[in-house]
Structure 1
Amino acid sequence: MANKNISKVVYGGKTLIDLTADTVTADKVLKGYTTHDKSGAPITGTCTFNADTSDATAAVAEILTGKTAYVNGVKLTGTMKNNGAVTGTISTKGESYTIPVGYHDGSGKVAISSTEQAKIIATNIRSGVKILGVTGTMSGTEGAKAESKTATPSTSQQTILPDSTKGFNYISQVVVEAIPYNESDNPQGGVTVTIG
């Protein structure tokens, strides 16, 4: 009797110890700790982890590269890239920035390129129009130099343009002279009418 394992003790009709329904096994006890199984035999733990990770759902792509974690009792080594502080710029209308897959430390920024930001000034935006918080003041006539011209009608088509060699870039008005008209007596006793 002394050499047998005792798993249940009943004294005076009262159960003092009962291990018979226990389910503990060595792989469920932390390594280095001892206990008894349902037969009363001593067992030494072999488990090297101290948490139940059976409900963990992380995948290697969700763990930083080089870092390790236990998921469902399995040690995983992460593959998620550490991007740190990612920065990007947008330079054209309709352009977008694609955020790379991986971890970001929260200090990265995406902005309109400095070249394009320098163009977003009030004098480059028509008056009454607001772009990215900047309200325009441009009237549309800045840098304009008007020219007034006079044209004499002829039997040929004429194209009236500003004289760009003198710095004019638009015509403010064109005055069309009256068509010359002249009457004179002729030797035959009639009247000669000259138009143009």
Structure 2
Amino acid sequence: MAEKNISKVVYGGKTLIDLTADTVTADKILKGATAHDKSGAPIVGTCTYNADTSDATAAGAEILAGKTAYVNGVKITGEMKNNGAVSGVISKKADSYTVPIGYHDGAGKVAISSTEQAKIIATNIRAGVSILGVEGTMSGTEGAKAQAKTATPKTTAQTILPDSTQGFNYLTQVTVEPIPYNESDNAQGGKTVTIG
């Protein structure tokens, strides 16, 4: 005699088991788990979900491209670009680096260009000033050779410059002599005044 499925058991007028109103089906039970449906027939779960994703909020753009996930019971495929190790260089004071949208593997770097880094040395920075952690030592007079000059007024304009051929590159002072003035007796019995 074939075994019958029992979905309801009543004993002494009292219902002990009643599966007739159950809605369980194999696809609602975790894969491999066993139960009985509303007819009392044994069923084996086929559902491969192992988590409740009903409260998940991720979107395709927030999941790496090519990867899949379940959100609210729905399988979605990622759209986020994989940028890998993104690197950038800053070469000017006003430069900035715009980080591209997408995934970064953490190995990328943004740095000041090596050419500019080579310029950030203590001797290029005035003493008392710190740039990017480098304290300056430059006094501002490195390579300077000063000269003091004397000039005599003339009737024409003069430009007073240091004697660069002698290695001078700036003037500490210019002393302007008084205008030459001379008086002498002349043959007519008067005075001859020579200015300049």
Pairwise TM-score range, normalised by the shorter structure: 0.7 to 0.9
1:104 corresponds in structure 2 to: 104
How much has 1:80 moved relative to structure 2?
Answer: 1.6
- Partner Cα separation in structure 2 for residue 67 and residue 190 of structure 1: 114
Normalising by structure 1, what TM-score? Answer: 0.84
1:24 corresponds in structure 2 to: 24
How much has 1:139 moved relative to structure 2?
Answer: 0.5
- SS of residue matched to 1:172: strand
1:123 corresponds in structure 2 to: 123
- SS of residue matched to 1:123: helix
2:150 corresponds in structure 1 to: 150
- Give a deviation string over 1:148-196, Cα, whole Å, max 9, x none: 2221101222121223344322112212222111001223322221111
Matches within 5 A, 1:7-46: 7-30=7-30, 35-40=35-40, 45=45
- Partner Cα separation in structure 1 for residue 51 and residue 21 of structure 2: 23
Distance 1:62 1:173, change over 3 A: same
Q: Which runs of 5+ in 2 are unaligned?
A: none
Identical pairs, percent:
83
CA RMSD of aligned residues (A): 2.6
Size of the aligned set, in residue pairs, is 195
1:134 corresponds in structure 2 to: 134
1:56 corresponds in structure 2 to: 56
- SS of residue matched to 1:183: strand
Q: Which runs of 5+ in 1 are unaligned?
A: none
- SS of residue matched to 1:49: coil
1:84 partner letter: G
Normalising by structure 2, what TM-score? Answer: 0.84
2:183 corresponds in structure 1 to: 183
- SS of residue matched to 1:103: coil
1:127 partner letter: A
Between 120-129 and 106-115, report the one with greater CA deviation.
Answer: 106-115
How much has 1:94 moved relative to structure 2?
Answer: 2.1
- Partner Cα separation in structure 2 for residue 14 and residue 109 of structure 1: 74
Between 20-29 and 175-184, report the one with greater CA deviation.
Answer: 20-29
- SS of residue matched to 2:69: strand
Q: Does 1:167 align with 2:167?
A: yes
How much has 1:41 moved relative to structure 2?
Answer: 5.6
